[in-house]
């Protein structure tokens, strides 16, 4: 498995889209340290393996300092502001629903997890739960492929964050939209119990 993971990681890291994002992130991330307090057990452990999630990259966060220091309401993320997350995956053949197509439930799980991870950064507690997840499947996501999931904060009101998530197939420098969602993430009153 170690050799296989290395092969997938090397492939993803060589993609033009990945390289461009990494360059943007190096320039962007000079003063920003994002710490996640929740390990992705399901998608980072249970579903990892040969012909399952062959590679799960670390989240690449682009969040302006103001969003990380002030937890005010956000009507919208304006032009020139950044509040988004990008993560790359290689999805194997054991993740299929229909023959050769990644199960829609797995895509829903990935979108749920990653939209929440972005929303958490916009809450003072850095924790929350999904209240609602609406998904639109546009095109099939084929097994044995690289996908990029991008999550963008739409707005925030009190203890509620709305995040848009998108799954793209990746072919070097080309992205094709496969699935979209909007997730409502809340910071519940009982957040200390999480």
Three-class secondary structure assignment of the chain: CHHHHHHHHHHHHHCHHHHHHHHHHHHHCCCCCCCCCCCCHHHHHHCECCCCEEEECCCEEEECHHHHHCCCCECCCCCCCCEEEEEEEEECHHHECCCCEECHHHHHHHHHHHHHHHHHHCCCCCCCEEEEEEEEECCCCECCEEEEEEEEEEEEECCEEEEEEEEEEEECCEEEEEEEEEEEEECCCCHHHC
- Domains of the chain, by residue range, sit at 2-193
Note the pLDDT of residue 69.
83
Positions marked catalytic: 112
- Topology, domain 2-193: Thiol Ester Dehydrase; Chain A (3.10.129)
Q: Which residues of the chain have pLDDT under 70?
A: 1-5, 29-33
Q: What is the pLDDT of residues 89-146, one digit of tens each?
A: 999 999 999 999 999 999 999 999 999 999 999 998 999 999 999 999 999 999 999 9
């Amino acid at each position: 498995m170690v050799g296989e993971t290395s092969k997938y990681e090397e492939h993803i890291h060589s993609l033009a889209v990945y390289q461009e994002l990494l360059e943007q992130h190096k320039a962007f991330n000079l003063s920003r340290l994002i710490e996640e307090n929740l390990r992705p057990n399901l998608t980072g452990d249970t579903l990892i393996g040969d012909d399952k999630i062959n590679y799960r990259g670390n989240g690449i966060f682009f969040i302006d300092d103001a969003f990380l220091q002030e937890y005010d309401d956000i009507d919208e993320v304006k032009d020139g502001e950044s509040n988004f997350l990008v993560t790359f995956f290689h999805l194997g053949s054991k993740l299929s629903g229909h023959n050769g197509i990644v199960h829609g439930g797995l895509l829903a799980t990935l979108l749920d997890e990653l939209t929440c991870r972005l929303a958490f950064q916009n809450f003072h507690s850095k924790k929350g739960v999904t209240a609602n997840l609406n998904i639109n499947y546009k095109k099939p996501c084929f097994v044995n492929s690289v996908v990029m999931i991008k999550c963008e904060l739409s707005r925030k009101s009190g203890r509620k964050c709305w995040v848009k998530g998108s799954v793209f197939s990746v072919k070097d420098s080309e992205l094709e939209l496969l699935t979209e969602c909007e997730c409502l993430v809340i910071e519940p009153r009982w957040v200390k119990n999480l």
